[in-house]
Amino acid sequence: MTKRFGGLVATHDVSFTVERGEVVFIIGPNGAGKTTLFNLITGYLRPDAGVIRFRGLPIQGLPPYRITAMGVGRTFQIPKPLAHLSVVENVMLGAFLRAGTYAEAERRALEVLERLEMRELARVEAGSLPVASLKRLEVARALATGAELLLLDEVVAGLSPAEADAFVGILRRLPEMGVTAVGGVEHIMRVVVSIADRVIVLDHGTRLAAGRPEEVVRDPAVVEAYLGTKFARREEAP
């Protein structure tokens, strides 16, 4: 798919498929087109060209709330919780999509919090959470909508290295919950290489490489993009 903003081509002919139960990372520096890609898939932007399918059905051009209802969840780069409500009430916001009553929504929300190991934060006011917990709350809210595919924009932005590792670890556990995960990160981190089924590297809006993480990190094009041509040649030499 392709998206242009005026003369700027934000994503150019980027094409990929994610299989059910996979953990896939979209890797690319700031401005590579990750957020644009997520916004295209979740309906916040309309592609200028191309097709987006979810479970075989074309979804491009649908409004975001319809795409959410179909089972595509997302998190935002900057978490925006309902600050004066508690954590569980924030997660209920997502749960209401599939829950008929207030009590059922609360039960579903608590289940999700349990699975994400944040049950003890349930009654805390969301506005008082640190960034790491807010990001986790975003995941909980998206999971509570009953999402089967979860798109996580900027998985590690604003987190310390330890927090980032812990957060990326959450993605690994999503397939056990029946959820396919696609996360966006800026750099090829060790933890990403260790848990990803596949990675897709974006650069200036085009797909630079895609495949298993250990293959991609050796891809000359990727090495060149990240480290410069000198390193790319050195890699090839021996």
Partner 1 sequence: MSGGRRWLYAGSLAALLLLLLVPLGVQNAYYLEVLFRIFIFAALGLAWNLVGGYAGQLSLGHVAYFGVGAYAFTLLTLDLGWNPWLGVAGGVGFSLVAALVIGSITFRLRGPYFTLATIATAEILRLLVLNLQDFTRGAIGISTPPLFPGPSADRAFYLAAVLLAAVAYAFNLWADRSRFGYYLMAIREDEDTAMAVGVNPARTKLLALLPSAAITSLAGSLYASSFHYIQADYIFSIDISNQAAIVAMLGGAGTALGPVLGSVILTTASELFKEVFQTAHLLIYGILIILVVLFLPGGVIGFFGRRSRRRAQREPGPFAGSLSGEEGSPRHSSSSST
Q: Output the smallest distance, CB 19 to partner 1, in A.
A: 23
Residues at the interface with partner 1 (CB under 8 A): 42-44, 63-65, 68-69, 73-76, 80-83, 85, 89, 92-94, 96-97, 99, 102, 105, 120-121, 123-125, 127-133, 141-142, 145
Nearer to partner 1, 153 or 203 (CB): 153
How far out from the chain centre does Cα 94 lie? 17
Cα 96 to Cα 89: distance, rounded to the nearest angstrom: 10
- Signed CA dihedral, 148, 35, 169, 200: sign only: positive
Give me the least distance between CB of 92 and partner 1, in Å please. 7
Cα separation, 62 vs 64, whole angstroms: 6
Closest approach of partner 1 to the CB of residue 10, in Å: 18
Q: Is the Cβ of residue 44 or residue 226 nearer to partner 1 in the bound state?
A: 44
**Segments of the chain assigned E as strands:** 3-5, 8-11, 23-27, 53-54, 57-58, 72-75, 149-152, 180-185, 198-203, 206-211
Residue (80 or 230) nearer to partner 1, CB: 80
The least distance separating partner 1 from the CB of residue 57, rounded to whole angstroms, comes to: 17
Locate tokens 């990750």: which residue?
34
